[in-house]
Structure 1
């Protein structure tokens, strides 16, 4: 009985730690995805022409809020700060002003702040939400299963840094600041 209570307490602490970083997905797919809080993909042994430890940005087709189709290939030549977020995620809401500021800082430069709205309602609901927070950078929609399968998201917000050649160079879990993301962007700019 005592061992069982200790195991439950340990599980509760692990959940509190994950939620403290951000919002955890409800399904078990996130557990299968694995992953660390922040992943710097700078491992050695990469083939020629591939940045060390990098992996390609997904080739999936996403739906933009204007109803069109969009891909990461459309953003080649830019550093992309792709932020997976949800209207239902309180840490994501807290992070939005930082991303708005980041988009302002890099306006006119080869940097795209991109939101990926995860299971956040219909397009009108997402637009209303973004308007409330003053978000003007582009947003695409994605389902929870796709966020986990495509990006390995284990919690939200998750931010993925993509270099101008289309390589994912870093994955960050939890709310970020404009200052911390600026340092990541500057490292990827040519």
Structure 2
């Protein structure tokens, strides 16, 4: 009986470990401040994912527009996210985001695989993901807050 109990306990522990790991798979990793970004936080949200780099002059022009958009859309089902093109991590990412004046969330882990985003070699590039997690649009070059709001409105009306 003791052996059967041990087998059951091991099986339950394995199931629990699997569930915990499955929950971790839903995370999008830390942001530029080291805070965890979970899939639950982004559930039922439209996402505007912008790739930027410190050496990208158009990115520097675009960042204030994205800050303005993120602020204006706060409380609505739209989230602006940034991703550093060069894959900066930890304190280096935090410093770069601060130097660029980024006020919105910057993901330390690239979400390209999760959202099936095609790799782009030119910057800036912005992707719009719908509230079902589907890529709806790839926008190359500098974007404005007004232009992004217009694209969001048009895409939402298409649904």
Q: TM-score, normalised by structure 1?
A: 0.57
1:134 aligns with 2:96: no
Alpha-carbon separation, structure 1, partners of 2:156 and 2:66: 18
Distance 2:39 2:138 in 1: 16
- Equivalent-residue separation in structure 2 for 1:138 and 1:177 (angstroms): 18
Aligned length: 129
Could you list the runs of 5+ residues in structure 2 that have no partner in the other structure? 1-25
How far residue 163 of structure 1 moved from its aligned partner, in angstroms, is: 0.7
After superposition, the C-alpha distances for 1:128-175 in whole angstroms (9 at most, x for unaligned) are 2322443221111257x97xx853213111100011111110001111
CA distance in 1, matches of 2:70, 2:94: 17
Return the offset for 1:106: 0.7
Extract unaligned runs of 5+ from structure 1.
1-58
Change beyond 3 A, Cα 1:82–1:165 = same
For normalisation by structure 2, the TM-score amounts to 0.67
Question: Does 1:159 pair with 2:113?
Answer: no
Q: CA deviation at 1:61?
A: 4.5
- Compared CA separation, residues 151 and 68, structure 1 to 2 (3 A): farther
1:173 aligns with 2:143: no
CA distance in structure 2 between the partners assigned to 1:96 and 1:69 by the alignment: 22
Aligned counterparts of 2:41 and 2:71: Cα–Cα separation in 1: 21
Q: Which residue of 2 aligns with 1:88?
A: 55
Contact 1:80 1:114 (C-alpha < 8 Å) held by counterparts: yes
Task: Choose 1 or 2 for highest CA Rg.
Answer: 2
The answer to whether the 8 Å contact 2:49/2:83 transfers is yes
Residue 103 and residue 164 in structure 1: after superposition, are their counterparts in 2 closer, same or farther (change >3 A)? same
In the alignment, is the contact (CA less than 8 A) between 1:95 and 1:176 conserved in 2? yes
